[in-house]
């Protein structure tokens, strides 16, 4: 699922075709689950929603519960191929972040996080579709699980992006959020 490009979920068969093409030509299929992983799409990994098994999965962000941590997970023959010290990363191995990751995984075992993400996504979709009927500025509503988006357009026919309206909406939302935030504690 594309994150920064507007939460775009490709058709269900897209990744199956792509992974077959990769394997046909000896190319590893790597799923970037940095934004979409750990329940955000209503499945532990977005790739599960597409019924595929990537050769490698890259994770971060939610993995560490807000602390800096990233990971690469893959089939044993791939992960065992580099020599000692051949795998590493900027956010690998921080003990505090690893403890947070264990707490995240424990949370997934104890709570029904995936069902909650799907419920929130469905609730968002229902409400946003009602808005779409009322306001032509909303050109598209899309997403998987809790990873949802509204696309603002100038015109329903052309679907031309409503850049100015988007900037104004974002500015209004941010100023509203900041005005409702509790004041920062004063140092003593």
Please give, one letter per residue, the 3-state secondary structure of 30-88.
EEECCCCCCCCCCCCCHHHHCCCCCCEEEECHHHHCCCCCCEEEECHHHHCCCCCCCCC
Tell me what pLDDT residue 92 has: 66
* Common-topology check for domains 14-110 and 113-180: no
Quickly count: other Cβ atoms within 10 Å of residue 113's Cβ.
Answer: 18
CATH 3.90.1150.10 fits 113-180, yes or no: yes
Tell me what pLDDT residue 112 has: 92
Q: How do residues 113-125 score in pLDDT, each as one tens digit?
A: 999 999 999 999 9
Q: How do residues 4-27 score in pLDDT, each as one tens digit?
A: 778 999 999 999 999 999 999 999
**Model pTM?**
0.82
Distance, in Å, from the CA atom of 60 to the CA atom of 67, rounded to the nearest integer, reads: 9
Tell me what pLDDT residue 44 has: 95
The span from the first CA to the last CA of the chain, in angstroms, equals 46
Tell me what pLDDT residue 87 has: 76
What is the domain partition of the chain in residue ranges?
Answer: 14-110, 113-180
| Assigned CATH for 14-110 | 3.40.640.10
160 Cβ neighbours under 8 A, 6+ residues apart: 153, 154
Task: Give the residue-averaged pLDDT of 72-82.
Answer: 92
């Amino acid at each position: 699922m594309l994150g920064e490009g507007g939460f775009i979920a490709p058709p269900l068969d897209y990744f199956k075709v792509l992974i077959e093409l990769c394997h046909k030509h000896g190319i590893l299929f790597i799923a970037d689950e940095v934004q979409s992983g750990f329940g955000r799409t209503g499945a532990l990994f977005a790739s599960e929603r597409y019924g595929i098994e990537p050769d490698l999965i890259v994770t971060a962000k939610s993995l560490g519960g807000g602390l800096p941590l990233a990971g690469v997970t893959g089939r044993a023959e791939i992960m065992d191929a580099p020599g000692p010290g051949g795998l590493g990363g900027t956010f690998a191995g921080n003990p505090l972040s690893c403890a947070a990751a264990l707490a995240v995984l424990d949370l997934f075992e104890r709570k029904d996080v995936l069902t909650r993400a799907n419920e929130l996504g469905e609730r968002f979709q229902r409400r946003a579709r009602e808005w779409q009927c009322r306001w032509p500025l909303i050109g598209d509503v899309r997403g998987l699980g809790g990873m949802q988006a509204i696309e603002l357009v100038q015109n329903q026919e052309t679907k031309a992006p409503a850049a100015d309206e988007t900037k104004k909406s974002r500015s209004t939302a941010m100023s509203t959020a900041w005005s409702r935030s509790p004041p920062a504690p004063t140092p003593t």
